[in-house]
Each structure stands twice: as structure tokens, then as C-alpha cells.
Structure 1
């Protein structure tokens, strides 16, 4: 045993201090707990140093805050981070898309079923949103129904989203910039199963915006697999 061995109490204190600093990026602890999918009482125990999260919850926290598991062992200031581009802070302030804006938005961490129109040929996509300090990272896949002969690699989508008041704008693309899309969506006011409505423009036809709806599926990965087992038409009928 080394001389610098730290007790469980010291490690819990280290994690609680790091987590408090990370949580300060968000105005509402309750909203943060909802986005993380962590019970508020349990989260308070992490903050007070009474306990540390189990591995799957720690992984969720680390991915949400874009840190690694060293937050259990080292102060945040000692953990190496990738160098930020000098434009990051300027763009965040200019666009108003930083942590405070995201914290006020209902565009939460988790999975979304996306329909680009409600016609017979609508295109379904399953997306995952991961909020960071400057924006929200988007990753997902076009459904096999929409691209039956494509490989999962070809169906993969990545992009980013940012907030402007109650409006969220997203830029997504398939690999190599193929089928780039710009979404402009707002919270749905119709009281239906749809959580967001708006329009989307395809880079291949910028003169013809299509209606788009998003249904929030939660942060549990099981939800996306359950949704994937439904046909596009069955999901559309829920709207």
C-alpha cells in the first residue's frame, strides 16, 4: 500500500467538490437532475460527499459534462482538457447558446424520434441529444425503412443544436456532409404526443422546407430500441 493512499471519505469529498463546480453551470439543480436521469435526493448525496454514483450513473454524468472518471480522483483544474478553440467563448456569448440558455430550454438530454414530414413518404430519424457547455451534440441514425439498402455507417447522423429563446436550431449531416439538414423547432403547444414542431431544409432542396415533428423518448437507451422496433407508420400514428 502506498503512502499517499486516500480514504473513501477523501475520494467522496473530491467527487462532491468537482460535481458542485460542474453543477454551477446550470441554474436549476432540479432541471439538471431531470436531464441526467438522477433522483434529486441521491444527487444531493453526491453533492454532500455522502456517496458516489454507481458506474453507469458516473458514466452518464461524465458524458453529460464532457469529463472523464478522473473527477473521482483529481480536482477539475488538474484534469487535462482538450484546448478550446478561441472562437468558442465568443460564439457562445454571441449566439446565447451557453449553459445558462441550455439550462432554460426544454430540449433535454435523451432520445428523440424525428419525422421530417407527415406525408406517405416521411423520413424517420432517431436522434440522441447530449448537452455541453456551448451547444448540444446530436447523433443518431436514419431508420432502415427510409434507407433499406444502406449500412449503419451510411445511416449515421451527427450535428449540433443551440437555443435561441424557446427556439432550437439544429444542423445535422450524414457522413461526408451528405444530406445536410437545418432544423428550426419550437415546443409544441397542441397537447399531443409531439414535443417539438417546426421545419427542416434539406441541402439538396433549399427552396422546399418540410414540416418536422420530434417526440421525446427519454434518456433511457431502452426507449430508442423499443422505438426502433416500431414501423415508421405506427410511430407516425401516435402524432
Structure 2
């Protein structure tokens, strides 16, 4: 315990700007905390419990071997230099990603995503999306093709969009951006409703996007995610993306029925 506890405690305290700030947050005398960190002294059981509770851990976690402790505790994400009010907003969002990570984990995988095109609702765009987790974040990576399906993959220019997911009020909220700072910049939000039955492979919802807002209005569309087998991206699923006529037999009839059941494009 005298060997592993100081190592684990140093990992925790490292995320404070100074030992003094850490001692203040923990309610411990700075000199005493320094003794704990150096291994010259061990805290009482009550103090050990207080330290563990502060970091949302169990006392036994602090006595795990360093490798196991590193896997048990991940440092909180922080963004520095923001105004106080904005810092509170960002912190709340980051904390929510940590707290809801396990809920979002069950939605990780590969998807085909279908939505009508705003320029022509009789045309359906099918994209390829991967939902994955890195650390405490749930990430969304989407590849779309502006040209019709059927052209050779190498001849089609892919549009790649990255986003982040949140779980709020029994819904999945996705925010992604593309080409920020450029004339063709896009900000997009998606709200998805998880199915009542976990075995159902579809997520339905609404997409709201602003694409080059100086020339195009904000608009919304129904959107459907269909989960694909496996969690590893497949070239065939990627090649099957593009733009289709609404009555194209290559489109999933169930996805089309769900799109039609949602609100019409506006």
C-alpha cells in the first residue's frame, strides 16, 4: 500500500495546477498531502475515504496496482481560458459525456444513414457512419458521396464529417461540423430516438443543418440510421452509398417507410 497509494495519488493530484490547490480541494493540509505523495505517511481510513469520494472512487481503488488504477480512473476533460459562464457550460457537457458513456456504448457500430435531399426530396442520400468511443467521448464519423451510386468509388469525391454525441432526455444528440471558416462550412445537429426494443436496428430522428448560411436557409429533414452487421467498416457498405431515386430497389424499404412516417422536409 505504501508503494501504490503515493503513485495513484500523484496521478490524481497531477491534474491540479499545484499541490496547494489540490490540498485545498481535498480539505487536507498541504504539508500532510506532500507526505502522502512522497510515501512518508499514509492517510487514516476516514481521510482515505474522503480522498476517494472527491474523485468519485472507492477507497480500495486507491490501493490498486498502478496499471489497474490507470484503467479504473480517467482524468476529467477540461478546457482552459474560457469565461466563467462558458466554462460552466462546457464542463457540464463534458461531464455528461462521461456520465452517459456507458449508455451510448450500446449504439457503437457501423450504420447506413438515409435522408431526403433538400434540393430534391425525391432523391435519397445514403451515407456511411461509424459511432465509436475514444476515452470519454462518443464520436461520429460520416462519409458521404455527392454523386450517384453506381459510379466507381475511386471516381467519387468523399465528403467526410466528424461529430460528437450526447445522451440527453432519452435521446441521442449529435453535433458535427464541416469546413469551419470556409464558404462551404456546415453546422449540423441530429436528434435520434432509440428504439423501444434494443434488437431493432433502426434509429430515427430529425436532422437540422445550416449549409453556407449566407446563401442557404436552415432546414430540417427526417433521418434514419440502420445498423450494419459487425463493428468493423466494410468496403462494400461504403461503396453502396451515394444518391438514389426514392423508388430505387437498392434502398431499404423499412428505412424508406420510417422516413415517410416522420415529418416531411421543410
Task: Answer yes or no: is the 8 Å Cα contact 1:110–1:216 preserved in 2.
Answer: yes
Q: Which of residues 205, 215, 225 in structure 2 aligns to 1:214?
A: 225
Q: TM-score, normalised by structure 2?
A: 0.48
Q: Tell me the matched-pair count.
A: 167
Q: Which of residues 155, 158, 162 in structure 1 aligns to 2:162?
A: 158
| Residue 94 of structure 1: how far off its partner (Å) | 5.0
- CA 214–162 in structure 1, closer or farther in 2 if over 3 Å, else same: same
- CA 74–198 in structure 1, closer or farther in 2 if over 3 Å, else same: closer
- CA 231–85 in structure 1, closer or farther in 2 if over 3 Å, else same: closer
**For residue 167 of structure 1, what is the aligned residue in structure 2?**
171
**For residue 236 of structure 1, what is the aligned residue in structure 2?**
252
**For residue 180 of structure 1, what is the aligned residue in structure 2?**
187
- CA 199–91 in structure 1, closer or farther in 2 if over 3 Å, else same: same
Q: TM-score, normalised by structure 1?
A: 0.53
Partner SS state of residue 122, structure 2: coil
| Residue 126 of structure 1: how far off its partner (Å) | 0.9
Stretches of structure 2 that go unaligned for 5 or more consecutive residues are 1-65, 81-85, 243-247, 256-266
The alignment yields a C-alpha RMSD, in angstroms, of 4.3
Stretches of structure 1 that go unaligned for 5 or more consecutive residues are 1-71
- CA 159–191 in structure 1, closer or farther in 2 if over 3 Å, else same: closer
Q: How many Å separate the matches in 1 of 2:217 and 2:201? A: 25
**For residue 122 of structure 2, what is the aligned residue in structure 1?**
120
1:52-67 equivalent positions in 2, closer than 5 A: none
- CA 90–76 in structure 1, closer or farther in 2 if over 3 Å, else same: farther
